[in-house]
Chain A
Amino acid sequence: MVNSLVLQNFRLFESVSLRFEAPTVFLCGSNGQGKTSLLEALFYLANLRSFRTSRTSEMIKIHAPSAIVGASVSFRDWSRQLAVELGETRKLVVDGKHVPRASEFAGSFNTVTFLPDDPEIITGRSQVRRKFLDMFISMLDHGYFTALQAYYNGVKNRNCLLRMKDTNNDVIRSYHPALAKYGAEIVQAREIHLRILSDFMRNIMAELKPELADLQLKLKTVHELSDPKIFEEKLERNLEKDRLNGYMTTGPHLDDFDFVADGKSLKLYGSRGQCRATSFALKEAEFDIVKNHSMSKDNTVVIVDDATGDLDKKTQEAFYHKISEAKQVFCSFTEIPDNPLTQYSQIVHITAGRAV
């Protein structure tokens, strides 16, 4: 679990140091006091990205040159000290030693988040869904992350060639076999994991929103692309079209999936309440899968940011009961909740960038 957290010049925190003693930590405070920033810092240490912003500068306190996020974590039978300095460049330190590669730093522990913006996964743009799915699969399958990085790098290189007028087609083609290999791996993994997610979600939905109990997650990419040979043929067939467009017009980098219930797309026809419940069930399914998976079983931290307010009391209780199975849980509330977990939790009060 995360044993301590140190922040310097991170968001509105000038300097704060926290010890976590319980597997459940409740962060309480009024709005705008820094609860979400604390959760963001925890998330950043696990994933080297924020769930709120893609701009590092937003995480650094105004007028400060850099921010530091550090923590002491222990999972399974090892523990390590993590620290990140966010400034003009990012510096990663593990156990006092500078590590050059993100892969040596990230993945010390896994996170499953429940955030107020979660319904965007259903209703938002396709990038939001891809990001969710990619992070989810990467937690369970390291090979997927490697394939993803190689694939995106290949797409960027090929696009660069497509945009140059005098490129010989043979040069562009030289990227096809590797793109097809990694691309097909990605499509396969997404198909499998969407199927697993669908199964878990249906069980959760049967309780939560019975009218959506036949919910299915459908990948939009044609299934054929899971075969590298067909993928490569498609790249060849699209070559002239891609040159005209200046980018690669097919493949998992443009992929999307849809939440379909009763034959209808929730994105288009779902009510606000239905989308809210579906996104909640999606995250719950993610948690169910991650916590039972050998790679992530003992090092999963759940982060809940004020995301359960509009659930009825019974659902809330069931939810907190379930997430208490995680290695550690961090929840933010505006006031101490009347909740079965409260009596076992460590409660941290947050006021204006200070923790008590």
Chain B
Amino acid sequence: MFAQPWPEPLAELIEMLKNLPGVGKRSAERMALSLYLWDPAKLEALAGNLASLHTRIHACPECGNLSDAPDNGACGICSSPVRDRSIICVVEDVAQIHSLESAGVFKGVYHVLGGRIAPLEGKFPESLSIPRLEARISAGGIREMILALSQDIEGQATAVYLANRFQGRGFAITRPARGLPAGSDLTYADSATIALALDARTSLNRPNEQEDTPR
């Protein structure tokens, strides 16, 4: 006994929706059926939106962030007059720019690497936008490069690679501190986080009475 298959167009749509992150077969079926019940005008608007996604959005030629500026122009951050161009924060993906921006603290500019050095996933330095980063740095005026990469071993290796590569170029190379999340209770932190937080502890001595500085 075989279940009655979906009509071909719907089956095709379901297959496509299944490519979205977090969407399995069941969710894709529900989405497809719900789309079918939409008002045709609304569906058309959605289709238009999807079809023109790549003509309306492109990667910023400066940093790799998403940009909707006309004529392949730079993104909002790169073209903003108030951002500090002497500090570059290197991230793996566009999504991380949004997380960092939501904190509202960072006033520098970004550089999207497009991944990390992960040979097992087929990612090597050549697959990343390092030449573009090199060009931006060679243009001069950089005071600091922040390597905001993931904490897994591939992210650590990528940070080491970039730090070695840009060593001695006259600017600071840093990475964000690791440790306890703000507003959380020590009781509920996992052991790896506590270890990192203890490793990177900061002194509360007044500057003039500093004796043993923590490592």
Contact = CB atoms under 8 A, between A and B. Distances in A.
Interface of A: 142-143, 146, 150-151, 153-154, 156-158, 160-161, 164, 167-168, 170-171, 173-179, 182
Tell me whether chain A's interface is mostly helix, strand or loop, or mixed: helix
A177 B153 contact: no
Contact of B164 (A150, A157, A170): A170
Interface in B147-183: 152-154, 156-158, 160-161, 164-165
Contacts of A154: 153, 157
A177 B161 contact: no
B154 A177 contact: no
A100 to B, nearest CB: 10
Contacts of A173: 160, 164
19 contacts: A143-B192, A146-B192, A150-B152, A153-B153, A157-B119, A157-B120, A158-B119, A170-B161, A170-B164, A170-B165, A171-B161, A174-B117, A174-B157, A175-B153, A175-B157, A177-B160, A178-B156, A179-B153, A182-B153
A168 B119 CA distance: 13
Nearest to B160: A174
A157 B153 contact: yes
Interface string B182-209: 0000000011100100000000000000
B119 A174 contact: no
A157 B157 CA distance: 10
A174 B125 CA distance: 11
B164 to A, nearest CB: 7
**A-B pairs, 10 with minimum CB distance:** A174-B161, A160-B119, A178-B156, A174-B157, A154-B153, A174-B160, A175-B157, A142-B191, A150-B153, A157-B119
Contact of B158 (A161, A174, A179): A174
Contacts of B36: none
Interface of B: 117-120, 124-125, 152-154, 156-158, 160-161, 164-165, 190-192, 195
Contacts of A157: 118-120, 153-154, 157
A218 B158 CA distance: 36
Given A170-B164, A171-B161, 4 more contacts: A146-B192, A161-B119, A168-B125, A174-B157
Contacts of A142: 190-192
Contacts of A175: 153, 157, 160
Nearest to B151: A150
A6 to B, nearest CB: 24
Contacts of A174: 117, 157-158, 160-161, 164
A176 B158 CA distance: 11
A263 B164 CA distance: 48
A164 B157 CA distance: 17
Contacts of B192: 142-143, 146
A99 to B, nearest CB: 15
B175 to A, nearest CB: 12
A175 B157 CA distance: 5
